[in-house]
């Protein structure tokens, strides 16, 4: 089984940090992750800087990364979030060949995160997909709040499926089923994947877990057993969502790799090099990184 790790540290990891990280430090972090063997890296977000100031200068960050000769030679694919056509234009101008749209499965979160209803967000995503495909740019789709909403609580499977089917019809190459607030547990993961697999090809599905309640790795294991082969993670275990209060802690890339390597998976990614990338970033963010593996590795 080939497992793909999609590294989101430079975007999902840093977007929720109170201390702004310089362009130079963001670039060094993303470069180091690419050199560690991660081949898919989300490096920015083309959202309005007044909404997410941490992602300002994503143009500069992405343009520098796609021009980095050794990362080009390694076939590292860089991507960024784009909420609308303006974001897509900026992403293309920065040289990206891959972007991501991010509708939610719950109405209240959609309004808070995107200032749009779910249907309006899907219409925006569709416009991005049509234009991106016309420019030869591939599009990933996230489904936020797929396992629970910070405002509405439980999210019905039918709501998740509806967004997935809409994304697939738009031509996204992958759908990241996202536990925005870190409430998912393995029983729910198994049940949701079973429902999704009945309606969608399992190969388009990726899982995006947060470790807020300590269940992220257990969820990955349950998803692996259910046939999922693509997982999102953030080096250092940073991140959350500015519009999902309390949703700290994406699944740490280090923690994920430690488990995957033990299972004989994703061995091409250098765990020690990911730790080194996180260690170089840590002073710039001004607080200890939450990754368990990372913390253990720093004990001497
Ligand atoms: Mg996240």
The answer to whether 234 is a known catalytic residue is no
| Confidence tier at 67 by pLDDT (50, 70, 90) | very high
Does residue 28 register a pLDDT over 90? yes
CA of 214 to the centre of ligand 1 (A): 14
Active-site position among 129, 149, 164, 241:
241
| Confidence tier at 240 by pLDDT (50, 70, 90) | low
Q: Can you give the pLDDT at residue 257? A: 98
Mean pLDDT of 61-69: 97
Report the predicted TM-score, pTM, of the whole model to 2 decimal places: 0.96
Which token pair is 215?
A: 């269940």
Q: What share of the chain is helix, strand, coil (3-state, %, to 5)?
A: 50, 15, 35
| Confidence tier at 49 by pLDDT (50, 70, 90) | confident
Handedness of CA 116, 248, 145, 199 (dihedral sign): positive
Task: Compute how many other C-beta atoms are within 10 angstroms of the C-beta atom of residue 299.
Answer: 5
Does residue 19 register a pLDDT over 90? no
CA of 206 to the centre of ligand 1 (A): 13
Contacts of 103 (CB under 8 A, 6+ apart): 110, 114, 118, 121, 122, 125, 141, 142, 143, 144, 163, 166, 167
Q: Is 62 exposed, middle or buried (0-12, 13-18, 19+ CB in 10 A)?
A: buried
How confident is the model over 225-238, as pLDDT tens digits? 999 999 999 999 99
Percent of the chain with pLDDT over 90: 88
Residue 251 to residue 292: CA distance in whole angstroms: 10
Q: Can you give the pLDDT at residue 243? A: 62
Ligand 1 ion: Cβ-proximal residues, 5 Å cutoff? 12, 250
CA of 240 to the centre of ligand 1 (A): 5
Q: Can you give the pLDDT at residue 287? A: 86
**206 and 172 in contact (C-beta within 8 Å)?**
no
Which token pair is 152?
A: 């509405």
CA of 300 to the centre of ligand 1 (A): 30
Q: Could you give the 3-state DSSP secondary structure of residue 214?
A: coil
Percent of the chain with pLDDT over 70: 97
Q: Looking at the DSSP assignment, which residues form a beta bridge with residue 224?
A: none
CA of 233 to the centre of ligand 1 (A): 8
Residue 142 to residue 100: CA distance in whole angstroms: 7
Which token pair is 59?
A: 């143009």
Q: Can you give the pLDDT at residue 51? A: 85
| Confidence tier at 246 by pLDDT (50, 70, 90) | low
Mean pLDDT of 171-181: 96
Q: Can you give the pLDDT at residue 147? A: 98
How confident is the model over 1-11, as pLDDT tens digits? 899 999 999 99
Packing angle of the helix pair 85-93, 118-134 (nearest 10 deg): 30
Does residue 242 register a pLDDT over 80? no
For tokens 């975007």, what's the residue? 11
DSSP string across 126-184? HHHHHHHHHTT-EEEEEEBTSS-BTTTB---HHHHHHHHHHHHHHT-SEEEEE-TTS--
| Confidence tier at 114 by pLDDT (50, 70, 90) | confident
CA of 232 to the centre of ligand 1 (A): 8
Mean pLDDT of 33-37: 98
Q: Can you give the pLDDT at residue 17? A: 86
Does residue 247 register a pLDDT over 80? no
Which domains, ranges and CATH numbers included, belong to the chain?
4-297 (3.20.20.70)
């Amino acid at each position: 089984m080939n497992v793909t790790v999609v590294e989101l540290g430079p975007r999902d990891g840093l977007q929720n940090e109170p201390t702004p990280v310089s362009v130079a430090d963001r670039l060094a972090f993303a470069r180091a992750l690419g050199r560690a063997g991660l081949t898919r890296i989300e490096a920015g977000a083309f959202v309005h800087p007044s909404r997410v100031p941490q992602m300002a200068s994503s143009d500069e960050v992405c343009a520098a990364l796609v021009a980095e000769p050794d990362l080009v030679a390694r076939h590292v694919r860089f991507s960024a979030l784009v909420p609308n056509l303006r974001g897509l234009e900026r992403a293309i101008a920065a040289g990206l060949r891959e972007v991501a749209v991010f509708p939610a499965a719950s109405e209240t979160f959609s309004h808070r995160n995107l200032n749009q209803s779910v249907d309006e967000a899907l219409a925006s995503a569709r416009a991005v997909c049509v234009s991106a495909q016309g420019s030869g740019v591939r599009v990933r789709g996230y489904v936020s709040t797929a396992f629970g909403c910070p405002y509405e609580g439980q999210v019905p499977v039918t709501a998740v499926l509806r967004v997935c089917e809409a994304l697939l019809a738009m031509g996204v190459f992958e759908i990241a089923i996202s536990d925005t607030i870190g409430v998912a547990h393995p029983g729910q993961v198994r049940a949701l994947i079973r429902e999704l697999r009945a309606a969608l090809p399992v190969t388009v599905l990726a899982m995006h877990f947060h470790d807020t309640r300590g269940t992220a790795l257990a969820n990955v294991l349950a998803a692996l057993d259910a046939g999922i082969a693509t997982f999102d993670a953030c080096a250092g275990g940073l991140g959350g969502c500015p519009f999902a209060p309390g949703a700290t802690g994406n699944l740490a890339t280090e923690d994920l790799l430690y488990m995957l390597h033990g299972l004989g998976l994703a061995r091409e990614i250098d765990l020690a090099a990911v730790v080194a990338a996180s260690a170089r970033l840590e002073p710039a963010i001004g607080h200890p990184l939450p990754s368990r593996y990372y913390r253990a590795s720093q004990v001497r």
